[in-house]
A and B are shown apart, each in its own frame.
Chain A
Amino acid sequence: MSSISGTNKSSRWSAVRKEIGRAGGALLISLIVTFVIVLLTSKDPLGAFEQLLTQLPQKTRTFGYWIDDVAKLTITGLAFSLVFQARQFSMGVQGQVYIGALAATYVALSPLGASWAGIPLGIAAAMLAGAVYGFLPGIAKAKLGANEIVSSLMLNYVAIELCNFLVRTNLPKPQAGVLTTNDFPDSAVFPMLVDKTRIDLGLILAIVAVLVVWFAVYRTSWGLKLRLVGHNARFAEYSGIKSTFIMVSAMTASGALGGLLGSMFVQGQTYGKLTVLFEGNLAFEGILVAIVARSRPLAVPIVALFYGYLRQGAQLMNIRTDVPAEVIGVVTAIIILLVSSSYSLAFLKRLFRRGVATAPTPAAAAGAAK
């Protein structure tokens, strides 16, 4: 996932160009596949694609949906980037979101939530809860050797069921039987930044998070150790780095980001309350964002901008045409498959000639963009 960037500036730029080319190529291929699917299934394929690709910035309201989605995608992308940098495939962001949201909800619905402390305390509680939830699979892996992929996936379901249970039984509800809590007091809901949109404090939190994660990974000794461990854990261990400590701390920090995302969901303008299954599988979209951004914190928001556009464009297409929004899952899957593999046009050609599979040359990979 990670790579230690060379000092040579021109080589770094050519690497960046190569990555952009591969990502753009993957996006193009996935859009073509989606277009073929829409063409085969829709009565008005061109209209559907117009909705998907051009309508989002036309209205302030839909523009707000986009930016709100970008903020959330950025946070989940950062959370996955941190663990991928350490080469840990912890998939626990979803669970951290639910646990963080629960913590934020308990703060917001307590007397503290009605005071000025509602927002900062809610965020802090959510991040703390998320950090603990990220720490658990980390420590289980470091001390006991438990596979972090399986344990973090299990913790996701535990968190979802816990959230369902507490919403149904314990948390105050407007009426019996509904699976949502009371609305939070205004002092616990993030203020709007742009009037009559969903753009709220979450956007600022996302920008701050990008800068903090970038600084931590590229400008601190912890970050250097993190990248070394991700690159070659054994080498890092030999050079005196406590690789287990680095792994666990990366997973804990990633958990704090997941918890923050939980607070952004329930305290944001979109909800302002806790609803069961509020997260709608957004957390796992961070995998795509992190992979395409090559786990670079500064690239994460850029990828999130593009991907959020597609996601929200798909929602518009869903409402206004006969194409369901879920078709975007095809785009996501194809992009992940292509970007995480060593695909290139030259490779595809060779494949059709049934040639021998070898790693493609960098030049061939760069050619994939065209």
Chain B
Amino acid sequence: MSPVIIVLAVISAVLALTMLFTKNPITSALCLLGVLIMTAGIYGLIGEHLIATIQLVVYAGAIMVLFIFSIMLLNLNTESTDFKDKPGLFVGAIAMGFSVFGFIAFALNEHFANHRQDFPMGEFTSDKVAALGGNSKVLSHALFSQFYISFEVISLALLIAIVGAVVLAKRKFD
């Protein structure tokens, strides 16, 4: 593992903790943005450029803009932006987070402990992907040939969501 990855991981951990413990919602959102960018950096360093790019385009470039936009639009004075301290809720949330993390770790551990020997390798090894012209090409081919029905269904679902949002946000029809 390259030392740069460790540096990025440490930075993103610090940012994630800041995101959790800060009282300013903007700081929180920007720390989340930092975490996303650092994750993209890690993806890039392990050679998964497409995932890194999509991470940047979708999460950092689109979703977080929306988050920050709405935070800034909804409340600009400091009184209403500070979260109220609710220790019980906080402890509960932390306990829940840790338990979810524990379940995931447990499930992964079980999976790999039981299937390590006869774990079937996927069709695409990294050498094979590189020979076929890189991740983006292989992914595009898979999306538009093998999985095109699922692709179209997902785009329909997104269209329905957009239409729903427009209907909800539109002023009442005359």
Say whether A and B bind each other.
Answer: no
